[in-house]
Amino acid sequence: MSEAPDWYACAAIVERGDPDRFRAAMAALAAAREILFPIYAANVEIARAPWVTQEPMIAEMRLQWWRDVMDEIIAGGEVRRHEVATPLARVLSKAGAEALDTLIAARRWDIYKDPFEDEADFTRYLEQTGGGLLFAACDALGTCDRTVAMHAGYAAGLAGFFQAIPALEEAKRVPLLDGRTEAISALAKNGLDRLKTARQSRSSLAKEACIALWQAEPLLRQAMKDPRAVGEGRLEVSALTSSLRLSKAALLARW
């Protein structure tokens, strides 16, 4: 589908910037990797944009560059030549590009140090980032229910956000509206509930894209039982559990 140099460039970006999704993509069928790597590489570049500079205006410009790419894909015309944008345009649908455009807009929160406005704002951020990425990947692979993708993507996004909290706090961000242990446990339980809801309709999501969900449940369960692990940077999945769950997700589509 994509030219080999582009495919390898995207894979290398994901391997360096998002090793967990790299492992998930490598566990997928080869044909699916050609679709997943450009989407995951774009996500790496978008997520990194707010953090490569201390100047908000420059960060805004970097995100706008990607929004312009999405506009070009949505329009269906010529898309600028770029090692990620070019293969991305080959695999992304209009709906997928719109989802990633919304994801980019949500990433503006990462530029500034303002807290989320309220719980709805936090939920929207996770749905538009984690949910938007999963929707784009599943849609590109041909099987996607938006509502189910939002549930599963929220859960995966929350697990990743929990892991990022120590770094966010070190960067003087205010990641949580309520950092009390009981509030963190409640958030984690909500993520588990939404993951359970998504599982009831797992056939409505492309299984190759859902391999990337393989660590969400154990991370959220740990956060619910041991919420202090979130702030202390101890939230992780053991190597054995991670490998077993990855194999289960890839072979049995059980996440």
- What is the per-residue pLDDT across 91-105, written as a single tens digit (0 to 9) for each? 999 999 999 999 999
Of 62, 94, 112, which closes a domain?
112
Residues 242 and 122 in one domain: yes
Residues 91 and 206 in one domain: no
Of 79, 112, 145, which closes a domain?
112
Residues 42 and 52 in one domain: yes
Residues 98 and 176 in one domain: no
pLDDT tops 80 at residue 1: no
Residues 158 and 206 in one domain: yes
Residues 208 and 161 in one domain: yes
Secondary structure, 3-state, the chain: CCCHHHHHHHHHHHHHHCHHHHHHHHCCCHHHHHHHHHHHHHHHHHHHHHHCCCCHHHHHHHHHHHHHHHHHHHHCCCCCCCCCHHHHHHHCCHHHHHHHHHHHHHHHHHCCCCCCCCHHHHHHHHHHHHHHHHHHHHHHHCCECHHHHHHHHHHHHHHHHHHHHHHHHHCCCCCCCCCCHHHHHHHHHHHHHHHHHHHCCHHHECHHHHHHHCCHHHHHHHHHHCCHHHHCCCCCCCHHHHHHHHHHHHHHCCC
CATH of the domain at 146: 1.10.600.10
Residues 106 and 117 in one domain: no
Write down the pTM of the prediction: 0.96
Residues 69 and 95 in one domain: yes
Number of domains in the chain: 2
Residue span of the structural domain in which 194 resides: 113-255
Of 83, 112, 141, which closes a domain?
112
Residues 12 and 46 in one domain: yes
Residues 128 and 253 in one domain: yes
- What is the per-residue pLDDT across 109-159, written as a single tens digit (0 to 9) for each? 999 999 999 999 999 999 999 999 999 999 999 999 999 999 999 999 999
